[in-house]
């Protein structure tokens, strides 16, 4: 049995991304360099074959993922299992992701509202975790994102989060340019056309 096949079966059977360290722990009879080379080869193989899934680097490990361009088909299967996040949950999650480690008081200061219930929900969904206690009077809990957060959002690590500049670019209004009137139709009707220059 080839090392590639063994690693492929482990990743396929795992319920979360497998790191290089974890795979090496599971396969002590193989050298670390051989395992790493096999992982890289598997990644290239699945990328080049153009199948329905590929080997993604997420949450500090490797995991098989369906290709993004096939999402519309996979969603038909997953419709019953999808869960939506409220705007307040997404806002709180974004604050935790970008400001971690962060206390509840700091989150509430930024949001301007109580967030106890939202934090509890995010903890139950395992998107946020308690990282410990802050070394200040009262020793409040500090929160950070979890490995599941990275998995759900398809992030290799926290450095893969979009920057503030990238987020602001999404909100920018498209620039339009007015074009000359164009004669259309047999009856000489004219219309004004706006061209989106960002397309």
Instruction: Give pLDDT tens digits for 12-50.
Output: 888 888 899 999 999 999 999 999 999 999 999 988 888
Mean pLDDT, residues 130-141 taken together: 88
192 in a structural domain: no
8 is a domain residue? yes
Q: What is the pLDDT of residue 155?
A: 83
Do 106 and 148 share a domain, yes or no? yes
| Model pLDDT for residues 180-195, shown as the tens digit of each residue | 554 544 444 444 444 4
Q: Give me the mean pLDDT over the 87-100 stretch.
A: 88
Q: Tens digit of pLDDT for each residue in 96-126?
A: 998 889 999 898 888 888 888 889 889 988 8
Instruction: With CA atoms as reference, report the closest residue to 167 among 92, 72, 102, 98.
Output: 98
Distance CA 38, CA 27 (A): 12
Domain extent at residue 28:
3-72
Q: Work out how many domains the chain is built from and give that number.
A: 2
Same domain, 112 and 140: yes
Is residue 195 domain-resident? no
Q: Is residue 140 part of a domain?
A: yes
Last residue of a domain, one of 30, 45, 72: 72
Q: Between 162 and 143, whose confidence is greater?
A: 143
Rounded Cα gap, residues 129 and 96, in angstroms: 10
Q: Is residue 30 part of a domain?
A: yes
Whether residues 98 and 37 fall in one domain: no
In a domain, 166, yes or no: no
């Amino acid at each position: 049995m080839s090392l590639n096949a063994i690693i492929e079966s482990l990743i396929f059977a795992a319920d979360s991304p497998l790191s290089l360290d974890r795979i090496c722990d599971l396969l002590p009879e193989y050298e670390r360099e051989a395992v790493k080379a096999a992982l890289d080869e598997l990644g290239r193989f699945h990328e080049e074959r153009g199948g329905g899934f590929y080997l993604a680097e997420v949450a500090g490990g490797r995991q098989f993922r369906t290709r993004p361009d096939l999402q519309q088909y996979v969603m038909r299967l997953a419709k019953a299992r999808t869960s939506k996040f409220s705007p307040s949950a997404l806002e709180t999650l974004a604050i935790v992701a970008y400001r971690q480690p962060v206390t509840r008081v700091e989150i509430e200061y930024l949001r301007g509202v109580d967030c106890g219930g939202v934090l509890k929900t995010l903890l139950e969904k395992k998107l946020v975790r308690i990282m410990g206690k802050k070394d200040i009077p009262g020793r409040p809990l500090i929160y950070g994102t979890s490995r599941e957060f990275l998995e759900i959002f398809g992030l290799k690590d926290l450095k893969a989060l979009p920057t503030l500049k990238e987020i602001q670019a999404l909100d920018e209004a498209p620039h339009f340019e007015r074009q000359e009137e164009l004669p259309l139709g047999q009856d000489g009707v004219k219309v004004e056309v706006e061209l989106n220059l960002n397309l």
